[in-house]
Structure 1
Amino acid sequence: MVERERDEGEAARALTSGPLQQQEGAAEGESDEKAGDEREEEEDDDDDDRDEEGTEWSEIRLAIDELSPPARLKHGDGDGKAAASSLPTLRFLALSHLLVRVLDKIGPTMAVLRLDVQRNIERLQELYLLDPAKYSTLTGILEKEVKEGTARKVDSCARAVLWLARSMDFTIALLQSLEEDSEQQQSLAQLVEAAYEVSLKPWHGWISSAACKIALKLIPERKVFTSLLLGMGQDCSALKDEIERLALLLRPLLDDIHSMMARFRLDRLKST
């Protein structure tokens, strides 16, 4: 009787310490290790997110991102390769806002141009908000004003689109000249004046030209402007690469906008 109880006890211990129990223990160990790995991965992801959130992008990098195919799709730009004639109004406004921020870095000397840009943005934005579906593209806006006979008026949205595009011409011309003059043989004032001569001056009347001529005398030092253009942790070499990339993306878009304005015979409008 005693021997039978002892045998049964040994059998029970054998079962509890046998292969099945060992497999369960191993499974629990693997589960714990897997959970630990997942926690580590989550912590790594959190660190990556913190790095991304802590990165301050420059206006140039933001513009590049806005012009990239994913951004075009986000704003409803078809396959991301649509012509400027179907350029979403929201994306054009986003680029225009970035333009204002670049002008701010030149300083108060660009106050006149900045004010014009801001007014044009607000005018275009107000019309868009009246009917976002109807005015979702620049073409829709121009067609509406041409049909109504208001496209050539001083306060038209067609003029706003035209002058915003010309202001972008000025900005990209300035940035490219800054990038090309790597030996810094010219001052910022000289670069700004050269960009103005090829982009805005042909369309300015004597009042606007006189105001810009005065502003050129108050341009800050070149190194100050360059340092303000740099994003966090960015060097001049990276800035040069980004300017080249921005020009590659923005130039074709601006050419398409000017072609669109020409089709509506609005490309030769001037200011006072």
Structure 2
Amino acid sequence: MTVKVKPGDDHDASHIPTKSFLFACNLVLQVLDKIGPTMAVLRQDIHQNIQRLEELYESDPSIYSNLVEILKKDQRESNARKGTSCSKALVWLTRTMDFTAALLERLAKDPEQSMEQVVEESYSITLKPWHGWISSAAYKVALKLVPESKAFIGLLMAEDEDYDMLKEEIQSLISLLLPLQEGIHSTLRKFCLDKLKST
């Protein structure tokens, strides 16, 4: 997957490829599927946000192949901060990607660390600042149901794969995600959407 992110100084110069972002989001769903049914609510939320962006993209791929155009549309229509907007979907998908990258990075660094600790640390720096008390409470319940690190790593590995190969794959994925995420965060700041909190 080749990602060309051009943050630019103004909205017109920015280009963040919608399809690349949605592809990466679907990879996150695959990771959550490995964790199991404890992540069902989060998975459903992510899936709905992906669908919202996909539907708009498919309505006119020539325009909405750039995520910035999606943000501009919501801004023009004064919808950006509304519950079912594509802008809000993008904000939460971006944060979910941050959480997933942080979780995988911590897991790759220290596979012996408890999964609960990995999830807790990743959550604290990525999602917790933006969650209200309901979301935080739901997270605490899900945290008690996550598998142990070794079991989770085993679920992530392909049949003929060892831990070193998985670690390499995780590092490759993170190196692809980081420039994409940086471009999106920069753009969300320009549209004043970076401080949105959950209700």
- TM-score when normalising by structure 1: 0.68
Match 2:134 to one of 201, 207, 214: 207
Query: Is the contact made by 1:187 and 1:222 (CA closer than 8 Å) also made in structure 2?
Result: yes
Work out the CA distance in 2 between the residues paired with 1:248 and 1:130. 31
One-letter identity of the residue aligned with 1:120: N
* Structure 1 letter corresponding to 2:39: M
Residue number in structure 1 paired with 2:110: 181
How much does 1:252 deviate? Answer: 2.1
Q: Distance in 1 between the 2:5 and 2:90 partners? A: 18
Among all aligned residue pairs of Structure 1 and Structure 2, give the percentage whose two residues are the same amino acid: 54
Q: Distance in 1 between matches of 2:180 and 2:5?
A: 10
Instruction: Give RMSD over aligned pairs.
Output: 1.3
Letter in 1 for 2:121: A
* Equivalent residue, structure 2, for 1:21: none
Q: Which amino acid aligns with 1:168?
A: M
Structure 2: unaligned runs, 5 residues or longer: 8-13
Question: 1:83 matched to which residue of 2?
Answer: 6
Shift of the alpha carbon at 1:91?
A: 1.6
Whole-angstrom distance in 2 between the partners of 1:82 and 1:96: 16
In the alignment, structure 1 residue 231 sits paired with structure 2 residue 137: no
Aligned to 1:260: 187
**CA displacement, residues 78-99 of structure 1 (integer Å, 9 cap, x when unaligned):** xxx4426412212211111111
Output one character per residue of 1:207-255: Cα deviation in whole Å (capped at 9) or x when no partner: 0000000111111122221011112311101111222222222112211
The number of residues matched between the two structures is: 193
Instruction: Please show how residues 15-34 of structure 1 align to structure 2 within 5 Å.
Output: none
Kindly indicate which of the two structures has a greater share of residues assigned to helix. 1
Partner residue of 2:144?
A: 217
Structure number with greater CO (CA < 8 Å, separation at least 6) is: 2
Quick check: which has more Rg, 1 or 2?
1
Q: Runs in 1 of length 4+ with deviation above 3 angstroms? A: none
Normalising by the residue count of structure 2, what TM-score does the alignment of the two structures yield?
Answer: 0.92
Letter in 2 for 1:196: Y
